[in-house]
Homo-oligomer: A and B are copies of this chain.
Amino acid sequence: MHAPRDLPVTAADILGRIRARRPRVHCITNSVAQNFTANMLLAAGAVPSMTTDPAEIREFVASADALLVNLGTLDARRQAAITAALEEADGRIPWVLDPVFVDRALSRATFALGLAARRPNVMRLNEAEFSALAEERPAPATLERYARDRSTVVGLTGDTDIVTDGARTVSIRNGDRMMAKVTAMGCAASALVGACLAVEPDAWCAAAAGLLLIGIAGERAATRAYGPGTLAVGILDTLHGLDQRIIVDRARVGA
């Protein structure tokens, strides 16, 4: 896939591969997000694992199909686990960086900058987090330069999501504002991008597919939800039930 207009069919194809191959995504993620993230991966057809113990993590990562590194509720033990996991992954296993709340604490920002320099296949973040890391506002040209300079894919989420590898850029206008009222929604989106990376070598496609799938699932769930409680539950149901027809009908993507 090279053009944004091909994204819906590509995303449906990637979802089909996840369901067929059941890739395992090892998630080093914050304690608030673990349960919802695991359920999101299962709803998509993937398999989660979550240990962060230094004694175990290398074996879990070595046999995983993708890795998620999320910086929420970060501490020294989790930092050691991340370092060990990335040594183990080392170019063989694709990984997603989610620098949660990197705009809130200097120590976390410093650690995140070191991780960003290790070339994550995808970085999934919001505007405040991008601004804290890049020290610039996330204008499209800035995102593209950032991605190109670091050989990564940036997936910026907000009212409109933007996914760029520096050469190719797609914007996704799916989703619903109430998704911001469900904790760990962004964390779970990053995990879903990890599942896509596990079955799709083109990281730009994988990132765009992951964000499109969660956007469509969230927007469909929102039409039936009574509030953020039923939305969180419903997005697991709708993701589980997504098919190519729905994805193609609902996708709102552009250059």
Binding site for B on A (CB under 8 A): 30-36, 38-39, 42-43, 48-53, 55-56, 59-60, 63, 72-77, 101, 104-108, 180-184, 225-230, 232-241
Contacts and interface: CB of A to CB of B under 8 A. Distances in A.
B227 A230 contact: no
B240 A234 contact: no
B51 A74 contact: yes
A59 B229 contact: no
B50 A74 contact: no
Chain copies in complex: 3
Q: Which of A53, A238, A239 has most chain B Cβ within 10 Å?
A: A53
Contacts of A39: 182-183, 228-229, 232
A74 B48 contact: no
B183 A38 contact: yes
- Does more than half of chain A's interface fall in helix, strand or loop, or is it mixed? helix
Nearest to A241: B227
Nearest to A237: B227
Given A39-B182, A104-B49, A183-B48, A235 B228 contact: no
A124 to B, nearest CB: 19
A233 to B, nearest CB: 4
A104 to B, nearest CB: 6
Contact of A63 (B73, B104, B227, B230): B104
Given A43-B227, A50-B73, 13 more contacts: A30-B50, A32-B35, A35-B184, A39-B183, A39-B229, A43-B229, A56-B74, A56-B105, A226-B237, A227-B239, A227-B240, A229-B240, A230-B237
A63 B128 CA distance: 15
Given A30-B50, A43-B181, A50-B32, A56 B230 contact: no
B75 A50 contact: no
B73 A53 contact: yes
Greatest chain B CB density within 10 A among A42, A107, A241 is at: A42
A205 B237 CA distance: 35
